[in-house]
Each structure stands twice: as C-alpha cells, then as structure tokens.
Amino acid sequence: MRTLRMKGKGIIEVVEQPEPVPGPGEVVVETAFSALCGSELHGYRGEGSQQGNSGHEAVGTVVATGKGVSDLKIGTRVGASAIAGCGKCSYCARRQYTWCPDYRFYGSMHAERFLVAASACYPLPDDVPWEPGVLITGDGLGVPYHTSAKISSPCIKTVAVFGVGPVGLGNVLMQAHLGRRVIAIDIVPGRLEAATQLGATDVVNASDCDPVEQVRMLTAGSGADVCIEAAGRPETALACFDAVRTAGTVVFNGEQGAFPLSPSDQFIRRDITAVGAWFYHFSEIDQMLGLYRDGLRVTDLISHRFPFTEAATAFELFSSGQSSKVLLDYT
C-alpha cells in the first residue's frame, strides 16, 4: 500500500510499504480522508520521521479486524481517534481516553490504510458524510469542543482567540455558535478573513497594532472574559494574560515549551484561572454530532482538498499559513 514518508526540511514522499496487520483489539481502516494538523508542522519543517508519518485525523471503512474485535464489522464507516485507552481504568470506563495513564497513540494515518484500536473507532451514522466526520472525530472540531467544555459559564460573553490557524478557527466557529462575541487575533490577513466568515465579531491584525491594547479597547478597557492561546508561542501566551479581564480565564491550546510566568502578576493579584485543553474525550463525539445536526457549520473550516498523491503540495500550502483545514482525499 502507499503511505507518506516525512523526510523533514519540507520534503514528503509517497512510498510503498507492507499492509498493516491488526493485533488483538485492533482494526485496519481503508482511508477515505485524512486531515492535516498544525502539530505536524514541527516534524515537517524539522527532522521528519524515521518511521510512519504524523497523520492522526482520518475516516474510512473497516477492512480487517483483529482478535477479540466483535463490535466492529468489516464495511463499517468509522472516524478514528488517535488516542486509545487501556480499557481497564475508570477514565476508560467513561471513554475519557486522553486521561488514561496508559493511553496509546495511533498515527501514520496519511496512508491508504492504517491501524487503530477498535475502541477508538466511532461508527459514523449514515447522515454524516466523510468530510464533517473527519473534523468531528479529529482535532478540527474535537479540540475546540473540548475547550468549550472548560469555559461553559453563562457569564462568559466575550472570547479572544490568539492565533487563528485551524484550531483557532475552530474555536472561533464554536464560540460564535454558542452566541458569544469573538475577537480573532492573528498576523495573516487571509486567516482573519476566514475568522470573520466563521463568526468573529472583531478581528485584530497583530502586525499593525498592539493586540492587547486592541482587545482592551474593544471591551471598554476591561479585557476579554476568556483568552484562548491557539498559536503555541510564548508571546501570545503572555498577551493572553494581559488581555484577559480580572478574574477571567486563559485557555492553552497551542503546544509549546516552557516560558516564565509570574504567580503574583499573572495569577494571584488578578484572580486569573488558566487551564489546558488537549485533544478531546471520545465520549464527546456524541455531543459534537448533535451540534453538527443542529447546524454547526463544521465543514466551513475546510479551505482546501488535495488528492493523497499531492500531499507534498498540500503540506507546502498548509505550512505557508495561507489555509484553514486541509484534507487529503483517498476516494
């Protein structure tokens, strides 16, 4: 079968490799679509990967099952979560696989067929096409929905999203759908335009002004009720603390390394709450499907689709910052 090999330094190849073989509790899925995620750009621009690829958002059809798999039949359409739990702990009993202390990660989903745990496959209903399915069971909607669960208070009226790449745009869509005023901050005009189309009330180009001052001006000096860090950069993380109101909340979505924070200045003296939101709970897919059926325009997050064989072009565009969510089509 064909799969992507990420050689690093912006080089991607389509190569042949042996067919995956399911182990106990695993299935093989024939891919219909896979989605590109911003977290993949670290390897794409950096040293690449010696084995497999960074794909971790995909949908397709079950074509083989391993020992002990009885609840998934060959031919079932599924969305695959890259995170599978041990199946034994209390978190797994609640389908909160990302909190399982022994969770497993399944990648290499940019391929004609991929291996994944049966317990991490969600059978897609007939009324859910492939494209919304890959966003609902992947990071595209999963991270923004999981984030929204952390900031559910009805007192929250204004949300500022710092960085409107794919996950940031998902937050814009989700928060606007919930009826909140959304301020989108970025340095790429095309992404700010996309944020407006997805429901942002105000956009701020951080290349042209001080984004903290702009957020405060737009909120009559008080600051946003919630600031979401979705760029994965220390400067935007610190800006979130400066732009949030007293007793507000900062949410971290963007993966990044360590940087200095002051407990007194950033937290204590302003009563700030900071939380992280990583991936999503498998148990949340039902609620995300409900939102989709209620009219959440999830496929508006998709800006480009490429045949799987043109993955190199897709990643080049994605890396340029001139896209929203990008899909690879295997159909």
**The two structure tokens encoding residue 294:** 């209620």
**What does the pLDDT read at residue 190?**
95
pLDDT tens per residue, range 275-287: 999 999 999 999 9
pLDDT at 20 over 90: yes
pLDDT at 134 over 90: yes
Confidence band of 50 (pLDDT split at 50, 70, 90): confident
221 and 319 housed in the same domain: no
171 and 266 housed in the same domain: yes
**What does the pLDDT read at residue 225?**
98
**Prediction pTM value:** 0.96
112 and 88 housed in the same domain: yes
**The two structure tokens encoding residue 1:** 């079968």
pLDDT at 9 over 90: yes
Domain count for the chain: 2
**What does the pLDDT read at residue 154?**
96
**The two structure tokens encoding residue 229:** 């860090």
> Are the C-beta atoms of residues 244 and 159 closer than 8 Å to each other?
no
151 and 47 housed in the same domain: no
CA dihedral 173, 174, 176, 178 (to 10 degrees): 160
**What does the pLDDT read at residue 69?**
98
* CA-to-CA dists, residue 217 to 100, 221, 291, angstroms: 43, 5, 32
* Other C-beta atoms lying within 10 Å of the C-beta of residue 277: 20
Of the residues 276, 305, 320, the one at which a domain ends = 276
313 contact partners, CB below 8 Å, separation of at least 6: 306
Q: Can you tell me the mean pLDDT for 247-255? A: 97
- The CATH number given to whatever domain includes residue 245 is 3.40.50.720
For residue 38, the enclosing domain spans 2-138+280-329
Q: Can you tell me the mean pLDDT for 142-169? A: 97
120 and 244 housed in the same domain: no
Tell me the percentage of the chain whose pLDDT exceeds 90: 98
167 and 115 housed in the same domain: no
**What does the pLDDT read at residue 236?**
97
Q: Can you tell me the mean pLDDT for 280-300? A: 97
153 and 251 housed in the same domain: yes
Q: Can you tell me the mean pLDDT for 114-139? A: 97
**What does the pLDDT read at residue 51?**
84
**The two structure tokens encoding residue 119:** 């317990």
**What does the pLDDT read at residue 49?**
85
